[in-house]
Structure 1
Amino acid sequence: MTKDSKSWRPFTANCCSADDQTIFGNFSRCKTSKSDFSKNIGPLPSFRRLSFSDLSRSSSTRINEDLAQTFGPDLFDFQVSELRAITQNFSTNYLLGEGGFGTVHKGYVDENLRSSLKSQAVAVKLLNIEGLQGHREWLAEVIFLGQLRHKNLVRLIGYCCEDEERLLVYEFMPKGSLENHLFKRLAMSLPWGTRLKIAIGAAKGLAFLHGAEKPVIYRDFKTSNILLDSDFTAKLSDFGLAHMGPEGSNTHVTTRVMGTYGYAAPEYVSTGHLTTRSDIYSFGVVLLELLTGRRAMDKTRPKNEQNLVDWTRPYLSSSRRLRCIMDPRFGGQYSVKGAKEMAHLASLCTSLNPKDRPKMPAIIETLEAIQPLRDMAVACGQWPPSPKSSNKYVVYAPKGNKDSKIVVIKNSRMGVNIKSK
């Protein structure tokens, strides 16, 4: 399952399917709830009828006028020439990453670019016109992040719509993505406490989206879309696939299946029915990745271990079995009780029955209760030795001295001690 692979052509008359038009039908109805997870949002602008389908068929000039009227000074309307200047013409030396959408480059803005801009590093996403994401996804990002403000959502600073060019300008996230920290060989392994902090931050971001009066379904929750600031605060990024949730008596919305294989909820894949519980399944998959240090889907592993949810399921209900799938890079430095609680939570989140999955406030409460726990596995004697070596082994002396042998006792902290007998 991949994002739409058709090449984008701007402003065609029928670029939106009927279900896509419902995404942005009327943003004046998208109000925040008064829950604890929504109260941190700033006052939303009063959206006049900002129609996705209308904007998709408009010229770039008309789109800029409509967006400027809607968002005012909250978002900057940049020119391509300005973004070229701050990224050294999108130099590979400033490349932060790339994907189906195109490339992301680091830049730097200050009051010389715009009088009201504070000096700061930024990330500039340059849309690849021939790529997997098109104009609709660009517009989704602008509309969603233009109105949503939360400490666990990446902040959109501005956008660029000039002829066929589509760009987005975000706050720069110095620690990169969670994916890079978990799965890139050169990255330092994340300790238990940091992984837990990231999980809580990402959960609060989802809770904020789900807690709106008209919920926002993120639809693409995964490690590569969880970005980290300088102190490892998690922020959700990439809202190109986000969707407004069901209204009234409706229990779901039906849409074309999009997202990332391994993270998408099975009922969504099979029926196209989308609810906030689809996001919760994806969240459970990320919890499993945090526990095991393995990817949601990994074709390089044996066939029975390629799908992380299927492989881990038999291990999640037993503390004794759970230690067999814990990320070995922890080295036993994780809470035994905390890991058990997180594993149980992941099991609930990835339940095949969507009704059995907990809601985000309950998930946050569970994760925050784990934070104070200090029963480290290595201190409790529950971290097994490496299966490739034992703590003690015998090396016999050379020929001619058969009665003598050397016992080598391996100590992970002190190195190797050699004793003669």
Structure 2
Amino acid sequence: MTKVVKKAEKSWKPMTANCCSVEDSIILGINFRNKSHTSDLMSKNIAPLPSFRRLAYSGHLSNLSSCSSQRINEDLAQSFGPDLIDFQLSELKAITQNFSRSFLLGEGGFGKVHKGYVDDNFKSGLKAQAVAVKHLDIEGLQGHKEWLSEVIFLGQLKHQNLVRLIGYCCEEEERLLVYEFMPRGSLENHLFKRLSSSLPWGSRLKIAIGAAKGLAFLHGAETPIIYRDFKTSNILLDSDFTAKLSDFGLAKMGPEGSNTHVTTRVMGTYGYAAPEYVSTGHLTTKSDVYSFGVVLLELLTGRRSMEKSRPKGEQHLVDWTRPYLSSSRKLRYIMDPRLGGQYSVKGTKEIAQLALRCMSLNPKDRPKMPLVVQALEGLQTYKDMAIASGLWPPPNSKKSRVNGVSIKGRSYYKPSPITPSRKT
């Protein structure tokens, strides 16, 4: 595991314009400093935790044209200095061959993401590397707010399990972001889109640990940051399958002082959102913990959190898996068949139990993310491996479907040779 290097931060210069607000206020002014924790885990594995202060802004984005791109760029340059690069649109067109389809990496609610290449002579202080360029498909004003939120959060937050923001582009109504390129793509692609061979058990565990560390870092701030959109498509993987959280457009500052929650519009992705957040709009760090539990289920089963094409009782992953998670004998019925039975039986049992705790209907019963990291890291020493394919029908069933496979009879056992897992 790469050791996190602590770096001294220069003093913060806040923005002064009144046109750059995210919801009711902008979150600015991050001063990195050590914060004492009783947990050895936090001091050993999590980077120095940031403390935040709010700088409230008057004015709203009622009219994007009322705030010039030049003024926004001046404010961002004053705040971030050389830490973020202010790209010109023409430069980003050049490195992506005018946003060619052959360079397209993906497309989501924000817009399209293209791969680009920069050399040593492209920009002062920027080394030769591949980058990912996210181009906002701006519709109305929310897109600009999400773009600005990403610049503000990722421009200041530095951690090995958060994707690194290199720079931004703001020209008239064009909004773009430039990130480090993540060669393995998203966890979603590996689990569900069948673009590559199945992720081995060791890689899945490593990814879960990395993503958990990213959330623990966010939640560990003096004023916690709630990610609000934790899901497989927002977990990106580098060349050695280190997980990094991306897309901070919906991130939100957590409650301060005696407040227990933040009340906000319900935003995120159905299937991952905590039930109390959906019903009340009350947002806490425990909302992220619930979403993490859902992703653990996806890693175990190889199924999406929500699939309308499944039989009625199997469409919602949480509801379908819950009866199987408390028993190792039942758990094998829902394990991802693409694992070929090559997984730690003890490890999957403990992850299933952890997922249940993360998805508790009572948010207070959900564990904090540093404890989740600790629990997952403890599973790395397990060496036991199942020897069957993982396909069994549920008990007392003459015919059933397990992970989409129709199985007849009382049992289905297919030996699978154990081969060395991919080194992670």
Report the TM-score when normalising by structure 2.
0.83
- In structure 2, what is the equivalent of residue 375 of structure 1? 384
Distance 2:83 2:341 in 1: 47
Contact 1:127–1:167 (CA under 8 A) maintained in structure 2: yes
**Local SS of the residue matching 1:121:** strand
Kept in 1: contact 2:192–2:303 (CA 8 A)? yes
In the alignment, does 2:191 pair up with 1:182?
yes
Asked if the contact 1:45/1:71 (under 8 Å) is kept, the reply is no
Amino acid at match of 2:276: E
- TM-aligned CA deviation for residue 129 of structure 1: 1.4
Do the aligned residues in 1 keep the contact of 2:163 with 2:246 (CA within 8 Å)? yes
Where 1:62 maps in the other structure, the secondary structure is helix
Counterpart selection for 1:143 from 139, 152, 175: 152
User: Which position in structure 2 is the counterpart of 1:27?
Assistant: 29
In 2 relative to 1, CA 289–87 (structure 1 residues): closer, same or farther, beyond 3 Å?
same
Instruction: Quote the Cα distance in structure 2 between the aligned partners of 1:80 and 1:130.
Output: 19
Alpha-carbon deviations, 1:112-164, whole Å to 9, x = none?
22121111100000000138951000000000000000000000000001111
Of 72, 84, 108, 1:99 maps to 108
Distance in 2 (CA, whole Å) between partners of 1:132 and 1:185 is 35
In the other structure, the counterpart of 2:396 is none
Q: 2:347, 2:382 within 8 Å by CA — same for their partners in 1?
A: yes
CA contact (8 A) 1:391 1:410 kept: no
Which of 102, 112, 120 is equivalent to 2:121?
A: 112
User: SS where residue 150 of structure 2 aligns?
Assistant: helix
The CA RMSD measured in Å over matched residues stands at 3.1
**Deviations for 1:185-237, whole angstroms, at most 9, x for unmatched residues?**
23210011100000000000000000011110000000000000000000000
C-alpha distance after superposition, 1:27-71 (max 9, x if no partner): 357866445547865797999958495787631111111111111
Give the secondary structure class of the aligned counterpart of 1:267: helix
Taking structure 1 as reference, are residues 337 and 142 closer, same or farther at Cα in structure 2, changes over 3 Å only? same
Equivalents in 2 of 1:68, 1:349: separation in Å? 40
2:79 counterpart residue number: 70
In structure 2, what residue type is equivalent to 1:102? G
1:400-411 matches, cutoff 5 A = none
Match of 2:349 in 1: 340
Residue in structure 2 matched with residue 303 of structure 1 by the alignment: 312
| Equivalent residue, structure 1, for 2:370 | 361
Task: Structure 1 unaligned segments of length 5 or more: list them.
Answer: 1-12, 394-408, 415-421
Which residue in 2 is equivalent to 1:164? 173
Does structure 1 residue 261 correspond to structure 2 residue 261?
no
CA distance in 2, matches of 1:354, 1:371: 27
Contact 1:27 1:50 in 2 (8 A): no
* 1:352 paired residue among 361, 382, 388: 361
The answer for the alignment partner of 2:234 in structure 1 is 225
Q: Deviations over 1:350-393 (max 9, x none)?
A: 111101100001101110111111111117x9875997489999
Structure 2 contact 153–248 (Cα < 8 Å) conserved: yes
**Distance in 1 of aligned mates of 2:212 and 2:110:** 25
In 2, Cα distance between equivalents of 1:356 and 1:410 = 39
Percent pairwise identity: 72
Q: How many residues align?
A: 383
What does residue 246 of structure 2 align with? Answer: 237
| Cα gap change, 1:50 to 1:246, in 2 (>3 Å) | closer
Does structure 2 conserve the Cα–Cα contact (< 8 Å) formed by 1:32 and 1:211? no
Q: The residue matched to 2:158 in structure 1 has which SS? A: coil
Deviations 1:216-259 (A, max 9, x none): 00000000000000000000000000001100000001000000
| Cα distance between partner residues in 1 of 2:411 and 2:325 | 31
Distance 1:383 1:375 in 2: 18
Mapped to 2, the partners of 1:358 and 1:102 lie a distance apart of 34
Which structure 2 residue ranges, 5 or more long, are not aligned?
A: 1-17, 394-404, 419-424
Contact 2:271 2:305 in 1 (8 A): yes
Any conservation in 2 of the 1:45–1:70 contact (CA below 8 Å)?
no
**1:388-403 correspondence runs (5 A):** 388=407
Give SS of 2:113's match.
strand
Give 1 or 2 for the bigger CA radius of gyration: 1
Check conservation: 2:112, 2:134, Cα contact below 8 A.
yes
